Structure 1
Amino acid sequence: MVKVTVWNEFLHENLHEEVRRVYPDGIHKALADGIGTDGFEVRTATLDQPEHGLTDEFLANTDVLIWWGHMGHDKVEDYIVDRVHARVMNGMGLIVLHSGHFSKIFKKLMGTGCDLKWREADEKERIWVINPAHPIAAGIPEQFVLDKEEMYGEHFDIPVPDELVLVSWFEGGEVFRTGCTFFRGQGKVFYFRPGHETYPTYYNANVLQVIKNGIRWAAPSGAAAPIRGNHQPLEEIKPK
């Protein structure tokens, strides 16, 4: 059973009626319900909880952390970012959604500014699978459409992804690297673009399938942790 934590700053839903109509119980609840119990044990955490809900004990019992943030990036305490970063480097999977591209944790893991073009114009997004053999693409059609989404456009200021699984085309003409994977230490990171707070994106079956596939991909592999530092020889070193 993969232990999943869905983290959401939970600010828009409390402040903006337009968002509350779409996600009355919060984006984190919609994601947790959409992911379901399909081999997952799902919990949620939010910004306003003590230590943002991400205590050492909580993270130690998290295999994959899903991160949604937007207007509260600067409210996330640096020591919590360092704590999450350490867990990723030690094997915890991380899925960063939509505007989480500007989160402190994603920028720390990428080492770049993570900026991009954007526009809110209720435009169509067509998401293409460009790596159909990748496990994140399992069960996903060659392409699918979101009728209304926020546009994100290139250039996306990230390192070259270790794997590029999905790309988006928008009605206004832009394209974007929508599904990117990265390996950091023993951990795996998946960035997935869709999910603006005023649209019902996280009820879309294909979007939820991508996220579920991402959880399975990002979950710890179970491989032995590497041993570093000064090390005794495994074989006899004969005097020369």
Structure 2
Amino acid sequence: MTPVRVIVWGENRHEKIEEHVRKIYPDGMHETIADGIRENLGDGAVVRTVTLDDPEHGLTEEVLQDTDVLVWWGHAAHGDVADEVVERVHRHVLSGMGLIVLHSGHWSKIFMKLMGTSCTLRWRSEHDRELIWTVDPTHPIAEGVPHPLEIEEDEMYGEFFDIPAPDELIFISTFSGGEAFRSGCTFHRGHGKIFYFRPGDQDYPTYHHKDVRRVIANGVKWARTVRPERAAPVLLRYETGEFFKGAGYTGPLG
């Protein structure tokens, strides 16, 4: 199999304006995330990074056509993402591009559009210990992940998390305040596969954590489509006895 083609999209705002974040991620969070995928997948992946400030946010039609899996991290500038780029990414996901949404990407335009809900949750940032418990140990995203995965310090997310019921729940997190959260969820939209993974506030070195990096890399492998070509689901009209090739359909009166 050819290497999976990965784009890591980073908002790259905190690293520019907050010195303590820049110390943790001197090359940007997106580069640290990309390094973790390279570290785990090796020659099995070709990984590139783009950021919000790139032309068309780095997500041109040509780039997306050449991408098997898009990894998304955003937080402070969700509103700065152009709607036409969101529509473009949405179309590619429905056509079979994989999408990994990390941490505060739960409130990104693209994730909310794909979920169809508010994607709101409870949160606090008090240097919480997080334990990530594997509830589906047979899932490929959980391969090689310790049970539980311990993160010494990170931001807390808690229920209620306003998302549709996941197709698969792989991980749940618990925190020092007693909260619980569905922290590893998969969804299918059209021909595309989506994995949401909770950890990764910018104030903590979470994306240097070897097991967090493993989960993200496993997610990338899982989200790659097995379909031979990228194509959006379409509505076709079939005659009786015709099984393989329908006719184009232009609308309810077509």
Q: TM-score range by the shorter chain?
A: over 0.9
Alignment match of 2:131 (pick from 115, 118, 126): 126
Q: Secondary structure at the match of 1:107?
A: helix
Which of 110-119 and 221-230 deviates more? 221-230
Structure 2 counterpart of 1:30, from 32, 38, 47: 32
**How far has the Cα of 1:227 moved from its partner?**
5.8
- For the residue of structure 2 that corresponds to 1:151, the secondary structure is strand
Please say if 1:234 is aligned against 2:239. Answer: no
Cα distance in 1 for partners of 2:159, 2:59 equals: 32
The alignment-based identity, stated in percent, is 56
- What is residue 238 of structure 1 aligned with on the other side? none
CA distance in 2, matches of 1:88, 1:46: 19
For 1:34 and 1:208, locate their aligned partners in 2 and report how far apart those are by CA, in whole Å: 5
* Structure 2, unaligned runs of 5 or more: 244-254
1:158-177 aligned within 5 A: 158-177=163-182
User: Which residue identity is paired with 1:148?
Assistant: E
Quick one: distance in 2 between partners of 1:101 and 1:222? 27
Q: How far does the alpha carbon of each residue in 1:99-125 deviate from its partner, in whole angstroms, 9 at most, with x for none?
A: 000000000000000000000000100
Q: Determine if contact 2:118/2:162 at 8 Å carries over to the other structure.
A: yes
Aligned twin of 1:147: 152
Amino acid at match of 1:17: E
Q: Which amino acid aligns with 1:92?
A: M
Distance 1:108 1:25 in 2: 30
Q: Separation in 1 of the partners of 2:242 and 2:234?
A: 13
1:80 equivalent to 2:85? Answer yes
Q: Aligned partners of 1:138, 1:198: CA distance in 2, in Å? A: 27
Q: Which moved more, 1:220-229 or 1:94-103?
A: 220-229
8 Å Cα contact 2:137/2:170 also seen in 1:
yes
1:94 equivalent in alignment to 2:96: no
- What TM-score comes out, normalization by structure 2 length? 0.90
Unaligned runs of 5+ in 1: 236-240
> CA separation in 1, counterparts of 2:45 and 2:32?
15
Q: TM-score, normalised by structure 1?
A: 0.95
Distance 2:149 2:96 in 1: 32
Q: Per-residue deviation at 1:220? A: 1.1
- Are 2:200 and 1:195 aligned? yes
After TM superposition, give the deviation of residue 18 of structure 1 in Å.
1.0
Q: Distance in 1 between matches of 2:76 and 2:25?
A: 16
Conservation of the 8 A alpha-carbon contact between 2:93 and 2:193? yes
Q: Return the match for 1:14 from 13, 16, 27.
A: 16
Q: CA deviation at 1:223?
A: 4.9
Structure 1 residue 35 displacement after superposition:
1.1
Query: What is the root-mean-square deviation in Å for CA atoms of aligned residues?
Result: 1.2
Query: Structure 1 residues 227 and 76 mapped into 2: Cα distance closer, same or farther (>3 Å)?
Result: closer
- Alignment partner, residue 56 of structure 1: 61
- CA–CA separation in structure 2 for the residues paired with 1:204 and 1:13: 18
CA deviation vs aligned residue, 1:8-47 (integer Å, no higher than 9, x gap):
0100000100100100110011011111152110000100
1:14 alignment partner AA: K
Q: Which amino acid aligns with 2:186?
A: T
Structure 2 SS opposite 1:58:
helix
